[in-house]
Amino acid sequence: MLNFLFSLPLWLLAAILTVWLMSFGLLGLWTVRRWILPNMRLHYEDAYFGGAVLQSAMLLYGLIAALTAVAVWQRHTQAFDIVSGEATAIATLWRDLSGYPAPQRDAMQETLRGYTDQVIHVAWPKLRRGEIPREGVEWMDRFQSQLFAFEPATESQKILHAQTVNAFNQLVQQRRLRLDVARARLPIVLWCVLLPGAMGCLVLCFFFHVENVRIQAFFIVGLAGFLAMVLFVIFALDRPLTGDMAISSNAYQLVYDHYMKK
């Protein structure tokens, strides 16, 4: 169910969350006032205790939701830095390869070009669909074989080769981090708190003895809208490489156009 929601366009996700909570609020309010409140014989004095309970519940839920929103935003920012770091590693490696003699230079640059093109046109669409790409492993293995097969003949080539190996290791590390962050997501137990918790906050509002039902409905709908916005932010940022809010492949495209485009 959650995976389905993550695959929706942002506008549709926002509409579903808003309509769900607002409809639940209005329907729940009508049900409670129609069938439950008349039998409970609540008095206006009971609102003091109910208000204290509602404030405590909203405070606890708001704390959990706020910390969750901050956590997913930090992970989204971290994912952007990882993507930028991998693109930078590709550019650094390409420039280092320019100091190698032909034909080793041409062969390794062609492999690096193929890897970058694969990231842009194959890996990124899969990541946006929530899939983990596997094709990059073959390109990395091919490049590693070509790089390690080179035997530097001079001191300058030894220094350059050592720097290139270091740049390649940096690229492998950044790629590994990108795949790790693509798998990262909030645990299901947290969603079991966030989604029912939003409904629970609305349920507590039903049991206030408000004479003007329109005023009560207005405030419940407003609260439902705010809760929907908080959940929408968490949904939108939870998976930084998936969906409409996914980080783009522009960093790789810029490197490809600037260095590799024939």
CB-based contact 164:93 (threshold 8 Å) = yes
* pLDDT score recorded for residue 153: 87
Is the predicted pLDDT of residue 175 greater than 90, yes or no? yes
Across residues 160-174, what is the average pLDDT? Answer: 95
DSSP state of 243: S
* pLDDT score recorded for residue 40: 72
- Each residue's pLDDT tens digit, 60-118: 999 999 999 999 999 999 999 999 999 999 999 999 999 999 899 999 999 999 999 99
* pLDDT score recorded for residue 42: 63
- Each residue's pLDDT tens digit, 193-208: 999 999 999 998 888 8
* pLDDT score recorded for residue 45: 60
pLDDT category at 46 given cuts 50, 70, 90 is: low
CB-based contact 256:114 (threshold 8 Å) = no
Is the predicted pLDDT of residue 228 greater than 60, yes or no? yes
**Higher pLDDT, residue 128 or 262:** 128
Identify which of 22-26, 130-134, 188-192 has the greatest average pLDDT. Answer: 22-26
CB-based contact 31:250 (threshold 8 Å) = no
* pLDDT score recorded for residue 114: 95
* pLDDT score recorded for residue 1: 57
pLDDT category at 49 given cuts 50, 70, 90 is: low
* pLDDT score recorded for residue 194: 95
- Which one-letter amino acid corresponds to residue 70? V
Give the whole-angstrom CA distance, residue 122 versus residue 252: 12
Q: What is the 3-state secondary structure (H, E, C) of 50-103?
A: HHHHHHHHHHHHHHHHHHHHHHHHHHHHHHHHHHHHHHHHHHHHHHHHCCCCCC
Contacts of 190 (CB under 8 A, 6+ apart): 68
Query: Which segments of 98-187 does DSSP mark as H helices, in order?
Result: 104-118, 124-128, 135-148, 155-183
Phi and psi at 173, nearest 5°, equal -65, -45
Chain CA centroid to CA 143, Å: 30
Give the whole-angstrom CA distance, residue 99 versus residue 107: 13
- Each residue's pLDDT tens digit, 14-38: 999 999 999 999 999 999 888 887 7
**Full-model pTM:** 0.85
Give the whole-angstrom CA distance, residue 171 versus residue 250: 17
Mean pLDDT score of the chain: 90
Query: CA-CA distances (angstroms) from residue 42 to 186, 200, 229?
Result: 40, 20, 32
Is the predicted pLDDT of residue 136 greater than 80, yes or no? yes
